Amino acid sequence: MAQKSEILTSIGKISVYIKKHTSGQTPLIFLHGIYFDHHLWDKQAEEIKDRTVISVDMPFHGDSRENIEPNWTLNDCANMLIEILDSLQISKVIAVGHSWGSMTILRAAYRQPARFESVGLCNMNFKAPTKGQKNTICFQHSMLVFKNFYMKQSAKSMFGEASLKENPPLINQLKLPMGILSNRQIRQIDKAVLMKADDTTYLIETLKVYALALKGEEDFVPTPPKIETIIVKGGHVSPLERPLEVFNLISRLIEKN
């Protein structure tokens, strides 16, 4: 069973869930994307039995809701990840992220490559938003007064069409963690992660850490350059839509080292 721990970072108090193992193998850490929480990685974490596994609740999400700085950035999230590793006295880690989690890992691994044995970047956006995309997000925020409708539309944009037809309850796996977010927090998260994201193509092209990427066929993010990218069926939430394929990616990261 994973044990919950709270770590004070420069962003605020962050909840992490640690399934300890004494094997001495490189620990593995999971970071989720916007609107989800650490449970996004439950299926993958359960399959890993030979090393310590850590899952993080990102700022405002899950139990990471106490004393969170209101105006954090993606760079602050990268600092947060390093601070978590420092607090847990982990000198090197295998890191796997989904969406925002991948964006955080990329920035942290670029800054401190020696801390990362390998990284898995699932459904990672690395492009700055266009003016039109920013306007669309602002328009969507006007619909937050109809919270349930907003969450359903968010699910439709994240999950592949076939995935939702095959497994309609997938919507609930977004609505449950998203439902605890206030409208103000949703706006802040979207502003920091989507609207103020900078182009990180250069970070990808010069990354000094072994990396694998993965994205869905219907994913709205582009394929990252110079990184082997596995294309799977589905949309933007590959850890839920294609858990086996994502676990296979994790296995390759582990076997590489």
5 strand-pairing partners: 16
Strands (E), 20-157: 28-31, 53-56, 93-98, 116-122
Summarised one tens digit per residue, pLDDT across range 81-98 is 999 999 999 999 999 999
Instruction: Determine the residue type at 107.
Output: R
**Using one digit for the tens of pLDDT, what is the confidence trace for 221-240?**
999 999 999 999 999 999 99
d(CA 252, CA 248): 6
- Whether the Cβ atoms of residue 222 and residue 126 lie closer than 8 Å to each other: yes
117: three-class secondary structure by DSSP: strand
| The pLDDT of residue 66 | 85
Q: What CATH number does residue 248 fall under? A: 3.40.50.1820
The pairing of strands 3-8 and 28-31 is unpaired
152 vs 66: CA distance, rounded Å: 27
Q: Are 132 and 125 in contact (CB under 8 A)?
A: no
Q: Would the CA dihedral through 40, 45, 46, 52 be positive or negative?
A: negative
Cα 184–Cα 190–Cα 195 angle in degrees, nearest 5: 130
10-residue stretch averages of pLDDT, the chain, 257 residues long? 94 97 95 98 95 97 92 96 98 98 98 98 97 95 94 94 93 95 96 96 97 97 97 97 97 90
pLDDT for the residue numbered 41 = 98
Q: Apex CA 118: angle with CA 45 and CA 228, to 5°?
A: 100
Q: In this predicted model, what pLDDT tens digit does every residue of 29-48 receive, in sequence order?
A: 999 999 999 999 999 999 99
What's the pTM?
Answer: 0.97
Mean pLDDT score across all residues of the chain? 96
Smallest CA-to-CA distance from 102 within 6, 233, 207 is with 207
Q: Distances in Å between the alpha carbon of 1 and those of 52, 186, 241, 249, 257?
A: 11, 31, 24, 23, 26
As beta bridge partners, residue 122 has: 98, 214
Residue 216's domain comprises 3-256
How high is the pLDDT of residue 70? 86
Q: How far apart are CA 96 and CA 102, in angstroms?
A: 7
What is the tally of structural domains in the chain?
Answer: 1
